[in-house]
Amino acid sequence: MTESKIIKGENPLYIQVKNELDSVGKGMCLAKWTQVTMQLQSGHNHSCHHPTTHKISELEIARNPSALHNTRYKKLKRKEMLSGQRPAECEYCWNVEDNSDRFSDRVFKSSESWSWEHKEEIFNSDWRDDYNPKYVEVAFSNTCNFKCSYCGPSFSTTWMEEIEQHGGYPTTDNFNDVEWMIRENKMPIPQREHNPYVEAFWKWWPELYNSLDTFRITGGEPLLSKDTWRVLDYIISEKNPNRNLKLAINSNLGVPDALIDKLIEKIKKIEDEGRVKELILFTSADTWGEQAEYIRTGLEFNRFWDNINKILLNCPKIVITFMVTYNALSVLKYDKLIKEIYKLKETYASPYRYWNSATFLDSSYLRYPMHQTVQVLPHQFSENIMNQAKLASFFSTPSFNSTQIGYSDVEVQKIKRIYDWMLAPQDAEQQMKNRHNFYKYFSEHDKRRGTDFCKTFPELEEFYNFCSTITL
């Protein structure tokens, strides 16, 4: 039995969703209406992570602030969907549906609770209509005090400062050079300057807020943005708060102590007064200790871990999700991270928290930049990943909705997926190119940042030296 048939057999809802979407058109997807990610630092948005972002017109938002989501560009794609066509930018889903019997992401996104219940009004809408999204992610600024190795200037001002001083990295693709951002009109607006997209957001916000199911603030580092605090203050002071709101905030938790204390104060106020339905804090750690600090320049790991405990201790309803960008440098000490997150689950378990759990481990494998993915490594390191999956399984719960403390099957399977992906067939020539870039990037990293790759990752020294011999 194939994986797709198992999915269909166990999820009849998806069959129903696909059939109803197809009754409107083979290209119909509710996410074009109900979901949006807004990168206000550059004035871009999209309603799904598969299509690229598109620029928001300043003229449109001057007339209509909701054009932060309801751009003319997006409305024309909605028109195609409502008339039975397939927008070309959504080719990822069409490729899945045309070449397999699996469900594509348009089915999964449309079936979300914050989307599916609005199907009738969307099916019967005019493509010209404005629509308030139910799931919103917003980045107000790219201001960030970290320089994570796989990130870049569009999401980090410290990365921007480095690139302005030293230029792109000497990889074959000139990693993190800003020329592509200039070509695609994605240069971030500095936080200190007037931003018409942020201005439009605050004009739209009172109307948007009441219709939201989920609101997530991303960055940059959101706790360094005044607009993040303005959102929290709005929720605290609103006379008729949206008590069904699921509120999420990203943070590296490496900001000054005063901001951590301020965050705890705001969260406690929101929790105590029941002003939201759920509150999730998304943070990041890609492995343990000094190796995590190497990957995420700016991270002080012990202080980071202290802040995790401080927040969980003082905020009894919040859930902290660890967003792991599992990369080539994660493989050595990820087992330590698994053990310590399990201890957090044990220590802070509470019936006031979602599924009784204080933490969730979201292990997602890095795909770009290609020179930092697990696929650059020799296959022998795949054993580390499988052992990590077995460790998480050892600490697992019998079922996801169990009241026992431990890792859910979802958390375990995400680690196993990394193992499978690492061993997937690769183009040999591309792999050698990636390994060449691996050395070029990290040797330059050490020069610019005063780090020492081989001292920090002695288990990878032989591989690192091998990569240094590759010429293209």
Peptide bond into 369 cis (omega under 30): yes
Q: Is residue 439 part of a domain?
A: no
**Per the domain annotation, does 468 fall within a domain?**
no
Establish if 271 belongs to a structural domain. yes
pLDDT tens readout for residues 210-245:
999 999 999 999 999 999 999 999 999 999 999 999
In a domain, 224, yes or no: yes
Confidence of residue 352 (pLDDT cuts 50, 70, 90): confident
Domain end point (choices 133, 165, 194) = 133
Mean pLDDT to the nearest integer, 272-287: 97
- Give the chain's domain count: 2
Q: Same domain, yes or no, for 205 and 90?
A: no
> Is residue 450 one of the residues assigned to a domain?
no
Identify whether residues 243 and 113 lie together within a single domain.
no
Distance (Å, whole) CA 392 – CA 319:
19
pLDDT at 171 over 90: yes
Closest CA to 112 of 134, 82, 130, 89: 134
Mean pLDDT of 416-443: 96
Using pLDDT thresholds of 50, 70 and 90, give the confidence band for residue 1.
very low
What is the side-by-side order of every strand in the sheet holding 54-55? 54-55, 44-46, 35-39, 135-139, 214-218, 246-250, 278-283, 319-326, 359-365
Beta-carbon count within 10 A of 226 CB: 11
Q: Is residue 14 scored above 70 in pLDDT?
A: yes
Instruction: Please say if the pLDDT value at position 311 is more than 80.
Output: yes
Q: 3-class secondary structure for 392-434?
A: HHHCECCCCCCCCCCECHHHHHHHHHHHHHHCCCCCHHHHHHH
Q: Is the pLDDT of residue 397 over 90?
A: no
Contact 215, 248 (CB under 8 A): yes
Cβ neighbours for 103, distance < 8 A, ≥ 6 positions apart: 4, 7, 8, 11, 14, 18, 96
The CA distance from 194 to 33, in Å, is 28
Q: Which of 407, 428, 449 is the last residue of a domain?
A: 428
Give the CATH number for residue 260. Answer: 3.80.30.10
Triad 383, 386, 389: Cα angle to 5°: 150
Residue 188: inside a domain, yes or no? yes
Are 268 and 299 members of one domain? yes
Q: 3-state SS string over the chain?
A: CCHHHHHHHHCHHHHHHHHHHHHHCCCCCCHHHHEEEEECCCCEEECCCCCCCEECCHHHHHHCHHHHCCCHHHHHHHHHHHCCCCCHHHHHHHHHHHHCCCCCHHHHHHHCHHHHCCHHHHHCCCCCCCCCCCEEEEECCCCCCCEECCCCCCCCHHHHHHHHHHCCCCCCCCCCCCHHHHHCCCCCCCCCCCCHHHHHHHHHHHHHHHHCCEEEEECCCHHHCHHHHHHHHHHHHCCCCCCCCEEEEECCCCCCHHHHHHHHHHHHHHHHCCCCCEEEEEECCCCCHHHHHHHEECCCHHHHHHHHHHHHHHCCCCEEEEEEEECCCCCCCHHHHHHHHHHHHHHHCCCCCHHHCCEEEEEEECCCCHHHCHHHCCHHHHHHHHHHHHHHHHCECCCCCCCCCCECHHHHHHHHHHHHHHCCCCCHHHHHHHHHHHHHHHHHHHHHHCCCHHHHCHHHHHHHHHHHCCCC
In the predicted structure, residue 403 carries a pLDDT above the cut 60? no
Is residue 62 within 8 Å of residue 204, measured between CB atoms? no
76 and 163 inside one domain? no
Both 410 and 381 in one domain: the answer is yes
Same domain, 229 and 371: yes
Is the same domain home to 48 and 194? no
Question: How confident is the model at residue 6, as a pLDDT?
Answer: 34
Please check whether residues 288 and 375 belong to one and the same domain.
yes
Residues 54 and 183 in one domain: no
Residues 351 and 274 in one domain: yes
> Which residues neighbour 68 within 8 Å (Cβ) at sequence distance 6 or greater?
36, 38, 40, 45, 56, 61, 197, 200, 201, 204
Among the candidates 410, 428, 446, a domain finishes at 428
Segment 13-20 shows an average pLDDT of: 93
pLDDT at 264 over 90: yes
> 13 falls in which pLDDT band (50, 70, 90)?
confident
Q: Is residue 288 part of a domain?
A: yes
Range of the domain at 226: 147-428
Same domain, 214 and 125: no
| Better-scored residue on pLDDT, 279 or 102 | 279
Q: What pLDDT, on the 0 to 100 scale, is given for residue 89?
A: 96
- For 150-167, write each residue's pLDDT tens digit: 999 999 999 999 999 999
pLDDT digits (tens, 9 = 90+) for 48-89: 999 999 999 999 999 999 999 999 999 999 999 999 999 999
Q: In the structure encoding, which two tokens stand for residue 208, read together?
A: 């948007």
Domain match, 240 and 183 both: yes
Question: Does a structural domain hold residue 242?
Answer: yes
Instruction: Tell me what pLDDT residue 398 has.
Output: 64
For the chain, the straight-line distance linking the first and the last C-alpha, in angstroms and rounded, comes to 44
Sign of CA dihedral 78, 82, 83, 89: positive
